[in-house]
Structure 1
Amino acid sequence: MKPIRYLFSIPMMLSGLSLFAAKELPAYMDESLPMEQRVEDALSRMTTQEKINMIHAQGKFSSPGVPRLGIPDLWMSDGPHGVRAEINWNDWGYSGRTNDSITAFPALTALAATWNPTLSFEYGNALGEEALYREKDVMLGPGVNIYRTPLNGRNFEYMGEDPYLASVLVVPYIKGMQQNGVGASVKHFALNNQELWRGHINVNLSDRALHEIYLPAFKSAVIDGDSWTIMGAYNKIRGQHACHNEMLLNKILKEDWGYKGVVMTDWGGAHDTKEAALYGLDLEMGSYTNGLTSESEFTTDDYYMARPYLEMLEKGELPMSTLDDKARRMLRLNFLTAMKRNKPLGSVASPEHYAVAEQIGNEAIVLLKNSPVAKGGNPLLPLSPDVKSILVVGDNATRDLMKGGGSSELKVKDNVTPLAGLRALYGDKVKYAQGYRAGKPMYSHVEQIPASVQDSLRAEAVAMAKNADVVIMVGGLNKNHQQDCEAGDRESYALPFGQPELIEALQAANPNLIVLLLSGNAVEMPWADKVPAIAQAWYLGSMAGKSIANVVSGKVNPSGKLPFSFPVRLEDNGAHSFGAISYPGDSINQEYLEDILVGYRWHDTKKIPAHYSFGHGLSYTSFDYGKPVASAKTIGSDESLTITIPVRNTGDRDGKETVQLYIGDDKASVLRPLKELKGFEKIELAPGEEKTVNFTITPDALKFYDDKTASWIAEPGKFRAYIGSSSTDIRATVPFELK
């Protein structure tokens, strides 16, 4: 049980402390003084042992403060989508408390699909308030690793395939959280783009790919978001583990970006005392475990940055300056979080937080397809209010999708499932058939379901489908091992548990079929041409059923846009097109051979159409893009160009549209993508309403990273601005020239 914090949070704890109150506070306790003065004062009072204690764990989710000086312990929690239930002090079992149920917010792929920075801020703030209530100082999230392959088990925790989109959305999340005195821990730095062999796979890639694709969101988190902590990745980069990687942590993060915060390991991510001391690691968590499931006889005093570090310091094998730098960073973090007075009290599972979760879900759902069943008819969605019978099919319609997944598992106070949400709206019109069985949510292995069971469930659902006005199939993936789950990648691009056969059988029985995919990854859809309505509905957390019912009924007009591409086949994805050495590697090394051509950059440049493009998302209304106007035809190296374009709602419903700006370089000295996202704006329009969207293009938006000079370059020449509703639905093109 976590100790109660006093730390003078009530002004001098009444008259009992009046004598102490009259005494002058030490400088490190005086919040009116500059941060660095407080840090240096505290550091000067600490012993070497106290500094060592501060830089490694003392339990599963805690690191020590300095009790002698009244500096409190730090307390952390998974994860990026909600505050995890309380874990035992020194094993991975749940402590069985009854007061740790919370709000599950939508997964970060869903947040990315909103393309809405305002909602990202509200997300971070609400999660920060829940962390405060649970007395957490650091939340282990958000994640911004780039979506490189649809097989990555943790893609649902990240913000998609585009570095610009992730960069824009991560900053307000961090600011919203940290305004509450709860530190964000942006993860996993860097190149943790698969779970298979994650603890040792050595990633090799070009400097261009590193700087153009995989680092920008982290850079924005540090420079624009001021994230107080960064979590290292498990994998190696160019032969050195990411949690003590000289190039990544010392050169790029701390020297080039000027980072003053704390670099912590992922749990068990440290491997060497000397490297940890010299190459940028500040806080070691979870060593001598595999991150989730195993224990050992070693204590936290045996960690790499504990007794072994102290012994090397005492022998003169490492300079004391390395320890002082780490202690300074830990003190800053402590003063911003655990030791900060006058923080708000926080709240948990409140109506306000449920409203935030529901609103994010409303704007996250992506309408992929919505066609009439018969020629000349209306699309299936939104459902007609006259519908008399609805059959809901699918394990995901009733499943608790907050269970499983690894460290993102959540214990929720309320869970509105898709079936419950639809029944709340349509009552006894709704019938249910499971259709398929997915098995228990398990971290390290898979429950095998007999084929006879799946056949029986399918037959039952198909028989019921024949008598329904409309069938809603709620399928996709879930948090089982080798689906969307930590520590195991997917083994197939196809939907599991016989869902493709179930979908085709349902469509044959009843053409009025809607498929809702709940997942954090793209899936193969050989059945898509036969299904009139398809929506990507993600993992939407506590209020998932409400958001789904809102969109299905038309109460909410869908406005989500895909944050990653859906390839037709797995081989159409860039990472998979070069064979096993590119993904998953040879178990030791891996080469990022698609280089900078990740996601839509690959599909565009190689002319390999995606099934559903990056940025794609339909609406129940329609939007007309007018003629763009540019402020100039040429710009200089220190000038900017403004493009304005009118957008009108030409339908009969209120709707939101995300207007996207891409830039392409007509001719360059290096390979460049056909186009790259460089701006977007989400606008809301009433029927017939028109708004003008403004984009400002600076020379920075035209640059590429030059490996030879280790700098960003914009080459003079001709460029094009592409403005549209997705990466392939381009409505206007504006040529211009950089002089």
Structure 2
Amino acid sequence: MPARQRDKIAASKYLLERRMPKVKAKSLWFTLLFVSFLSVASRSAEQPKGMSISSPSVERQVEEILSRMTLDEKITVLHGNSTFSVGAVKRLGIPELTLSDGPHGIRQDASENRDDYYVTAMPVGVALAATWNIEMARLMGNVIGAEARNCNKQVLLGPGVNMMKTPLCGRNFEYYSEDPYLAGKIAVEYIKGVQQNDVAACAKHYALNNQEKNRCFVDARPDERTLREIYLPAFEMAVKEGKVWCVMGSYNKVRGKWSCENKHLARDILKGQWGFDGVYISDWCAVHSTVDSAINGLDLEMGTNKPYDQYFFAAPLKKAVQQGQVPLSVVDDKVRRVLRLMFRTKLVGADKPVPGSRNTRAHQIAARKVAEEAVVLLKNNGVLPIDINKVKKIAVIGENANMIQSDKGGSSSVKNYLYEITPLEGIKRRVGRTASVTFAQGYISYRNAFDFDMIPEKYLSSFDPVSGAKGWRGEYFASLDLSGKPTFVRYDSNINFKWLGAPADNMPEDNFSVRWTGTVVAPASGEYEFGLLSDDGSRMFIDGEMLIDNWWDHGPLAKTRKIELEKGKEYNIVIEYYDSGVGADVKLGWRGCVSDNIKETVNNNMIAEAVAVAKDADVVFVFVGHNHYYDDEGRDKADIKLGHNQDELIEALTKANPKTVALLTSGGALEMPWVNDVPAVLQMWYLGMESGNAVANILFGDVNPSGKLPMTFPKKLEDIPAHKLDDYKVEYCDYKEGILVGYRWFDTKNVEPLFAFGHGLSYTKFEYTNVRVRKSNEDGVLYEVQVDVKNTGDMAGAEVVQMYIADEESSLMRPEKELKGFRKVFLKPGDKITVSMPIDKRMLSFYDPTKKAWVAESGAFKLLIGSSSRDIRVTANLQYE
């Protein structure tokens, strides 16, 4: 029996034998329902429908429709006609093509208050990658695809497969890994799962969108080898192995050329060398030209920053064709690709799409299964799992224990899902009446990423003359420059907005402006610092003097200004703001003088309250980390520290009760100065609507943790090469670390990480033995590597077997080792399995920029197989000729 089939049978048995947690329905029927759903998803993804590059029948129909289209009709299908749709050609029976955000949950609007209008909020991308399980990737893709299909969406804008160059990137939570092989394998199976539902996946953001800071303008300037070995392989795998139907171009420049008009990326590599025959879509408002974008490979322009008939690919494209600047053959190629997409998604043609489904019990169980496998046990000195029969009092500390997360994070936020089980609720459900659960917040809640407090209403003297409520008088204009009469006027209690659509029903989604006026009374004399964050332009006036000038097109950007205020004095403040597209984000806050003193006092009080609760408990669960006001699209984090006195909170709790477990919510690495004092640490990412149930199952041993880190956790930010080499800049990045990204840097430069890439503990132990290498007769495979893995503990569990390859005699510098294979296996106590992994020529190769080709040099290679990049259990030698 093939190894892959043996692993599948073992996985299915393991799922059946695992205890189902206590949620509303715990019946065998639901267990079988989920396993049946998983089985169907697995079979469908192995032989996905419509995954061939094209078929003669479809191509004939595409050509027939194309031959009947006028130039105007061709132009119609090459640009958006609303935020998330492409225009119809009614004369030929071509309906609108609809797209949707939501790589971990469809952003679906509910038109009625009915359960069947809700969708499933799955774990985020980095959590999926932390499962290191391609079956879970396939399952999650199938759930998202089924829900997109049921919501009548033809294109799902995901997965995001950008590499994690810096842990500061605000969208790392959406992405998969610092390693291209892991990211690519997860992406491939996710794509297959989505597309088996007659929905197109869209791999994004091509390419080098590795930071949110100034993402719309930053110039990424890596050398060709770095580009090919680190930043493109996941996209290449998505195209060649996943057969993805759409790819999205990024905002940034690559070597001075915008991604959406970059010939090297789009024409030469994506469509030329990789043979991509799908649709190359722009990110929203990422197009900067008509002729260059058309000639160099962009197919479909999307956005919201101008009238739809004035898009670069609308009236200007028609004019460029008529004037001979863009050949009609170039336009026809684009239209072919869009029509091909419509046939693949069954939007046109005789075949009917699958019906899809959403908010089903099977989908909710799938969300929990992915979440359970995503949790990473970073440290455990024997305190976990908790024996529920031995604890009577449980302390749950920290804001993140009781915080909803899935509805935030930018364009990937899930807008309309039915519920989210918080960790606090999940723990309460799990223990029932067997133990008491006491909650304490532990630290003050900060709800804005640039760390300024909203100005409290009690310090405002301006008020709404109708209601009498204090606030800021907001004049909203349907223009970019505050011109004309306001469309409407209202009073806002705070200036703290992140609009995903229009600010009101009678306003445009983009190209609007707002002027807020208000009067602030200083509560104390002293220095205050005002912060104004906006995407796009903003400016601030106090008593007629401009203090902050941020009046230009840009992504989320904060500016600050300090000023002395006098107690009791009134200050007239005016905030002006405009949005020209992509994002609409504006926040005003202050700090210093009174607010900092308040924070310190509140934090100290909250820590004291938490310590009092912890002292009286049998076990303490402290939930700390970030939230989506930090892990968020459009902005990067300032650092990877916990902040807000969370370090002090953990230190106080461990002194009060040594049985304290730290649980981290974040989209990536965090510094942990207290790690040696805490007996157990878990990384829980953003786990979606079943978060609380999944975490509770891990804590109490109902599920054995099996997640592994998809990135390196450094001891400090400066250990990351981008920051060590001062290569995290606003205007450009030179990618000075080259191919030494993530663990490649740490291993090659001998830098000790806090937790290594691939690290993750279990409640059981696994033994590796008998590694062997043999030549393979399988097409395209050079060698097969086999290793025996045994569960030597007393609890069923899963292990991720990781294979790294080291080139011992290369003509070019190569990393110490690179991940080239992994398999997740499920074993009961005492069971042993043989894990097989293939090696092909590409796995032994490096990209030679002088030859412009991948090269596998003959010589000695070492295979290193283990439980993480720093926990190698067995090795073998390989001589490639």
Contact kept, 8 Å, 1:382 with 1:551, in 2: the verdict is no
> Partner residue of 2:815?
673
Q: Larger Cα Rg: Structure 1 or Structure 2?
A: 2
* Deviation sequence 1:53-94 (CA, Å, 0-9, x none): 1111111111112111111101111121000133xxxxxxx9
SS in 2 for 1:329: helix
Find the partner of 2:835 among 667, 689, 693.
693
* Pair 1:618-2:761 in alignment: yes
SS in 1 for 2:762: coil
> Partner residue of 2:690?
543
Find the partner of 2:325 among 313, 317, 325.
317
How much does 1:383 deviate? 4.3
Find the partner of 2:314 among 294, 299, 306.
306
Paired AA for residue 740 in structure 2: L
**How large is the RMSD of aligned CA atoms in angstroms?**
2.0
Change (3 A) 1:638 1:82: closer
* Pair 1:420-2:434 in alignment: no
Q: Tell me how far apart the structure 2 counterparts of residues 462 and 244 of structure 1 sit (CA, whole Å).
A: 57
SS in 2 for 1:626: strand
Find the partner of 2:804 among 641, 647, 662.
662
How much does 1:521 deviate? 1.1
Find the partner of 2:95 among 47, 72, 75.
72
Q: Tell me how far apart the structure 2 counterparts of residues 257 and 303 of structure 1 sit (CA, whole Å).
A: 29
Q: Tell me how far apart the structure 2 counterparts of residues 264 and 333 of structure 1 sit (CA, whole Å).
A: 12
How much does 1:335 deviate? 1.5
Contact kept, 8 Å, 2:261 with 2:296, in 1: the verdict is yes
How much does 1:307 deviate? 0.8
SS in 2 for 1:627: strand
Q: Tell me how far apart the structure 1 counterparts of residues 153 and 206 of structure 2 sit (CA, whole Å).
A: 22
How much does 1:145 deviate? 0.4
> Partner residue of 1:386?
390
Q: Tell me how far apart the structure 1 counterparts of residues 780 and 374 of structure 2 sit (CA, whole Å).
A: 37
> Partner residue of 1:456?
605
How much does 1:681 deviate? 1.0
* Deviation sequence 1:211-244 (CA, Å, 0-9, x none): 1111111011111111111111111001011112
> Partner residue of 1:475?
624
Paired AA for residue 168 in structure 2: L
Contact kept, 8 Å, 1:565 with 1:599, in 2: the verdict is yes
How much does 1:458 deviate? 2.0
Matches within 5 A, 1:256-271: 256-271=273-288
SS in 1 for 2:672: coil
How much does 1:384 deviate? 4.6
* Pair 1:400-2:404 in alignment: yes
> Partner residue of 2:73?
50
Q: Tell me how far apart the structure 1 counterparts of residues 301 and 169 of structure 2 sit (CA, whole Å).
A: 25
> Partner residue of 2:752?
609
Contact kept, 8 Å, 2:384 with 2:700, in 1: the verdict is no
How much does 1:644 deviate? 1.9
Greater mean alpha carbon deviation, residues 142-151 or residues 439-448: 439-448
Q: Tell me how far apart the structure 2 counterparts of residues 554 and 197 of structure 1 sit (CA, whole Å).
A: 44
Find the partner of 1:437 among 432, 440, 444.
444
Paired AA for residue 709 in structure 1: K
SS in 2 for 1:725: strand
Contact kept, 8 Å, 1:401 with 1:479, in 2: the verdict is yes
Matches within 5 A, 1:582-601: 582-583=727-728, 585=729, 587-601=730-744
Find the partner of 1:352 among 359, 362, 386.
362
Paired AA for residue 291 in structure 2: K
SS in 1 for 2:390: coil
How much does 1:737 deviate? 1.5
* Pair 1:513-2:660 in alignment: yes
Paired AA for residue 690 in structure 2: M
Q: Which runs of 5+ in 1 are unaligned?
A: 1-30, 87-93, 289-297, 372-377
> Partner residue of 1:37?
60
> Partner residue of 2:208?
191
Find the partner of 2:859 among 710, 717, 737.
717
Contact kept, 8 Å, 1:269 with 1:287, in 2: the verdict is no
How much does 1:267 deviate? 0.7
Greater mean alpha carbon deviation, residues 271-280 or residues 604-613: 271-280
Contact kept, 8 Å, 2:223 with 2:738, in 1: the verdict is yes
Q: Tell me how far apart the structure 2 counterparts of residues 391 and 638 of structure 1 sit (CA, whole Å).
A: 55
* Deviation sequence 1:194-216 (CA, Å, 0-9, x none): 00010010010111111111111
> Partner residue of 1:21?
none
How much does 1:32 deviate? 9.8
Greater mean alpha carbon deviation, residues 274-283 or residues 246-255: 274-283
> Partner residue of 1:339?
348
Contact kept, 8 Å, 1:718 with 1:735, in 2: the verdict is yes
> Partner residue of 1:646?
788
Matches within 5 A, 1:226-241: 226-241=243-258
SS in 1 for 2:420: coil
How much does 1:577 deviate? 1.1
How much does 1:717 deviate? 1.5
Contact kept, 8 Å, 1:186 with 1:229, in 2: the verdict is yes
Greater mean alpha carbon deviation, residues 166-175 or residues 232-241: 166-175
Find the partner of 2:233 among 212, 216, 226.
216
* Pair 1:570-2:574 in alignment: no
SS in 1 for 2:330: helix
Contact kept, 8 Å, 1:287 with 1:303, in 2: the verdict is no
* Pair 1:59-2:82 in alignment: yes
> Partner residue of 2:674?
527
Find the partner of 1:558 among 705, 708, 711.
705
Contact kept, 8 Å, 1:383 with 1:552, in 2: the verdict is no
Paired AA for residue 389 in structure 2: P
* Deviation sequence 1:362-386 (CA, Å, 0-9, x none): 1110000001xxxxxx434344531
How much does 1:439 deviate? 3.3
* Pair 1:157-2:174 in alignment: yes
Percent identity over the alignment is 46
Contact kept, 8 Å, 2:392 with 2:436, in 1: the verdict is yes
Q: Tell me how far apart the structure 2 counterparts of residues 179 and 133 of structure 1 sit (CA, whole Å).
A: 13
Paired AA for residue 767 in structure 2: D
SS in 1 for 2:389: coil
Contact kept, 8 Å, 2:83 with 2:304, in 1: the verdict is no
Find the partner of 2:377 among 359, 367, 377.
367
Contact kept, 8 Å, 1:370 with 1:381, in 2: the verdict is no
Contact kept, 8 Å, 2:82 with 2:304, in 1: the verdict is no
> Partner residue of 1:283?
300
Paired AA for residue 199 in structure 2: V
How much does 1:638 deviate? 8.6
How much does 1:641 deviate? 2.8
Q: Tell me how far apart the structure 1 counterparts of residues 87 and 326 of structure 2 sit (CA, whole Å).
A: 23
* Pair 1:730-2:879 in alignment: no
TM-score of the aligned structures, taking structure 2 as reference length: 0.75
Q: Which runs of 5+ in 2 are unaligned?
A: 1-53, 449-496, 499-584
Contact kept, 8 Å, 1:113 with 1:366, in 2: the verdict is yes
SS in 1 for 2:833: strand
SS in 2 for 1:731: strand
> Partner residue of 2:270?
253
SS in 2 for 1:628: strand
Q: Tell me how far apart the structure 2 counterparts of residues 169 and 151 of structure 1 sit (CA, whole Å).
A: 22
Paired AA for residue 389 in structure 1: K
Contact kept, 8 Å, 1:389 with 1:430, in 2: the verdict is yes
Q: Tell me how far apart the structure 1 counterparts of residues 606 and 120 of structure 2 sit (CA, whole Å).
A: 32
Contact kept, 8 Å, 1:381 with 1:533, in 2: the verdict is no
> Partner residue of 2:846?
704
* Deviation sequence 1:21-65 (CA, Å, 0-9, x none): xxxxxxxxxx99711101110001111001111111111111112
Greater mean alpha carbon deviation, residues 98-107 or residues 118-127: 98-107
Total equivalences in the alignment? 679
Paired AA for residue 434 in structure 1: Q
> Partner residue of 1:19?
none
> Partner residue of 1:90?
none
